[in-house]
């Protein structure tokens, strides 16, 4: 199979593709070829993951074992009596073509080949990959080889072979991740788990023998549990991939936001990209132009990508770029205006009549112009009053709320007032900064109620910017003008 034809196949056989890609994420039954009871080995972690968490049927295949702890092992996948939707292969590279052929004969529609030792290790591996390609072509869809596969928080399908004590698993949620790097994907999921960020689906495609970014995007666009797709990429590999990716991104962006962090931006990094994934980092300006053209939200690093994604997943789109800033710290208010202004968002001065209404209720020290500075004497009730008075007016399109919870006048109840303000159907983000347990509790409460929290004004501003950008993109698509 030539790379060119592989790329083009994505579109032409869409009807038949739908099913294997769906089975990749949502199989009814999985066979693990290379299953093992050996803890912390690649096959061992996958075996444990699927046996303990996967909500479908699991068949273990390894000729070395008959039964371990009451669980049957099959000599070959061909010995399994039931249907097998997905085969996960974690055997040494030389054995992969043979077991893949068995998976095909068993009738499996898709396989995740975890095993490394293919084109990424040099000539001999590349020959093996060619052999594998010949076996698989048009007979079974392949994710990998040399990948960590799929994490599905909804059904417990988890081929990420990093043990739980080293890599936390995020809760189900509206974000999906497509990562060109397995290690980066593992670290992000670990990070997201700790921060209670819901990542429903994650996938790493390794050497990309068959299934590529574009197809994964197409699938994720259709999965209604996913609200935002985050993509980590280093570079494309095959001729024609760029065009295909651009076409697919354009389509997907019309359905849900896509946030992309493209690494390998500098010339200095291009060598490192090549030795990492045999991809071409390419000229970043060309990538950037492509991503913009497609309507993608571009991130500058990984946390940046998730900062924006969590706002895009939870907030309505704004109708303009005017931000109401409420703060209990003048300093944080200033930093927010800097950050918003730098991103092209406005902090409009409120009308004199509106300020008059605010002044009547707020203490004399409060600043009512916008940013509205409630000062260190702020209370929950003042925030509620300002939110309820200003956010519904036509002067502002979204709110950035700074709540430094170090001051004693604020309580966890402020979170309820902020959550209630969602009824105005305008985006709300919160800046909280500190480290004590009370702050953490406040932040958890908000995030669990669908209000994204950021630890710095510039991060919150960037999230609002992403919402505004996506609103413009969607507006353009729907013929709506900001």
Q: Which of residues 368-407 bind a copy of itself (CB under 8 A)?
A: 369, 371, 373, 376, 404-407
- Site map for a copy of itself, 68-87, x if CB under 8 A? --------------------
Of 55-63, 158-166, 238-246, 416-424, which segment contacts a copy of itself by CB under 8 A? Answer: 158-166
Minimum Å gap between C-beta 121 and a copy of itself is: 6
Residues 264-293 that bind a copy of itself (CB under 8 A): 264-269, 271-273, 275-277, 281
Q: Closer to a copy of itself by CB, 86 or 366: give it.
A: 366
Q: Which two tokens stand for residue 345?
A: 């968002």
Stretch that binds a copy of itself, among 23-31, 238-246, 454-462, 463-471 (CB under 8 A): 454-462
- Choices 116-124, 306-314, 392-400, 473-481 (CB under 8 A): range interacting with a copy of itself: 116-124
Q: Bridge-partner residues for 72, per DSSP?
A: 67
Give Cα separations from 212 to 115, 141, 162, 218 (angstroms): 17, 11, 23, 10
Residue 296 exposed, middle or buried by CB count within 10 Å (0-12, 13-18, 19+): buried
CA distance 374 to 136: 65
What's the min distance (Å) between Cβ of 374 and a copy of itself?
Answer: 11
Q: Give the β-pairing of 57-61 and 29-33.
A: parallel
HEC letters along 43-99 = HHHHHHHHHHHCCCEEEEECCCCCEECCEEEECCHHHCCCCCCEEEECCCHHHHHHH
89, 162, 326, 471: residue in contact with a copy of itself (rule CB under 8 A)? 162
Residue choice 242, 254, 316, 330 for contact with a copy of itself (CB under 8 A): 330
Q: How far is the CB of 405 from a copy of itself (least distance, A)?
A: 7
Please give the structure tokens belonging to residue 373.
Answer: 């500075």
Q: 385-403 burial, b for 16+ CB within 10 Å, e for fewer? A: bbbebbbeeebbbbbbbbb
Which residues between 177 and 216 bind a copy of itself (CB under 8 A)? 179-184, 186-188, 190-195
107 versus 122: smaller Cβ distance to a copy of itself = 122
Please give, one letter per residue, the 3-state secondary structure of 205-257: CCCCCCCCHHHHHHHHHHCCCCCEEEEEECCECCCCHHHHHHHHHHHHHCCCC
Report the nearest approach of a copy of itself to the CB of residue 251 (Å): 27
- Pick one of 342, 351, 393, 425: the residue that binds a copy of itself (CB under 8 A): 342
In the complex, the smallest distance separating the C-beta of residue 281 from a copy of itself, rounded to whole angstroms, is 8
Binding mask 88-107 for a copy of itself (x = CB under 8 A): --------------------
Closest to a copy of itself by CB, 9 vs 406, is 406
Name residues contacting a copy of itself, limited to 407-446 (CB under 8 A): 407-408, 433-439
Task: Measure the CA angle with vertex 86, ends 84 and 92; round to 5°.
Answer: 110
Is 167 near a copy of itself (CB under 8 A)?
yes
Rounded-to-integer distance, Cα 369 and Cα 354, Å: 9
Q: How far apart are CA 152 and CA 28, in angstroms?
A: 13
Shortest distance (Å) from residue 284 CB to a copy of itself: 9
Nearer to a copy of itself, 22 or 164 (CB): 164
**Closer residue to a copy of itself (CB): 192 or 201:** 192
H or E element that contains 437 = helix 437-448
Among residues 105 and 267, whose Cβ is nearest to a copy of itself? 267
Q: What's the token pair of residue 478?
A: 């729907």
């Amino acid at each position: 199979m030539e790379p060119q034809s592989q790329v083009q196949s994505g579109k032409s056989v869409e009807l038949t593709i739908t099913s294997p890609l769906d089975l990749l994420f949502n199989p009814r039954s999985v066979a693990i070829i290379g299953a093992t009871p050996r803890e912390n080995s690649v096959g061992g972690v996958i075996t444990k993951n699927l046996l303990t968490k996967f909500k479908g049927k699991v068949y273990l295949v390894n000729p070395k074992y008959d039964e371990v702890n009451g669980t049957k092992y099959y000599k070959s996948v061909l010995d399994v009596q039931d249907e097998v939707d997905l085969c996960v292969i974690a055997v040494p590279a030389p054995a992969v073509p043979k077991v893949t052929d068995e998976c095909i004969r068993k009738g499996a529609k898709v396989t995740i080949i975890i095993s490394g030792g293919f084109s990424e290790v040099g000539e001999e591996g590349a020959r093996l990959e060619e052999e594998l390609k010949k076996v698989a072509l048009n007979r079974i869809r392949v994710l990998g080889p040399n990948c960590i596969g799929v994490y599905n928080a909804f059904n417990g399908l988890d081929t990420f072979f990093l043990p739980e004590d080293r890599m936390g698993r995020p809760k189900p949620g509206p974000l999906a991740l497509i990562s060109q790097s397995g290690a980066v994907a593992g670290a992000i999921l670990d990070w997201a788990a700790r921060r209670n960020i819901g990542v429903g689906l994650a996938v790493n495609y390794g050497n990309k023998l068959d299934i590529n970014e574009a197809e994964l995007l197409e699938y994720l666009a259709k999965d209604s549990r996913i609200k935002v797709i985050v993509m980590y990429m280093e570079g494309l590999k095959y001729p024609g991939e760029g065009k295909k990716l651009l076409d697919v991104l354009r389509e997907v962006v019309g359905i849900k936001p896509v946030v992309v962090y493209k690494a390998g931006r500098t010339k200095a990094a291009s060598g490192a990209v090549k030795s990492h994934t045999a991809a071409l980092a390419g000229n970043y300006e060309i990538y950037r132009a492509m991503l913009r053209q497609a309507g993608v939200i571009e991130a500058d690093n990984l946390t940046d990508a998730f900062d924006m994604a969590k706002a895009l997943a939870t907030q309505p789109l704004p109708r303009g770029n005017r931000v109401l800033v409420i703060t209990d710290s003048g300093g944080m208010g200033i930093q927010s205006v800097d950050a918003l202004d730098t991103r092209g968002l406005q902090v409009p001065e409120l009308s004199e009549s509106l300020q008059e209404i605010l002044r009547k209720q707020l203490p004399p020290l409060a600043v009512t112009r916008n940013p509205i500075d409630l000062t260190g004497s702020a209370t929950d009730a003042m925030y509620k009053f300002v939110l309820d008075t200003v956010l519904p007016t036509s002067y502002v399109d979204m709110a950035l709320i700074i709540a430094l919870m170090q001051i004693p006048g604020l309580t966890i109840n402020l979170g309820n007032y902020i959550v209630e303000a969602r009824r105005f159907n305008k985006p709300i983000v919160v800046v909280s900064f500190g480290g004590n347990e009370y702050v953490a509790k406040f932040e958890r409460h908000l995030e669990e109620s669908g209000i994204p929290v950021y630890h710095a004004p510039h991060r919150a501003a960037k999230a609002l910017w992403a919402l505004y950008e996506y609103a413009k993109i969607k507006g353009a698509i729907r013929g709506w003008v900001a």
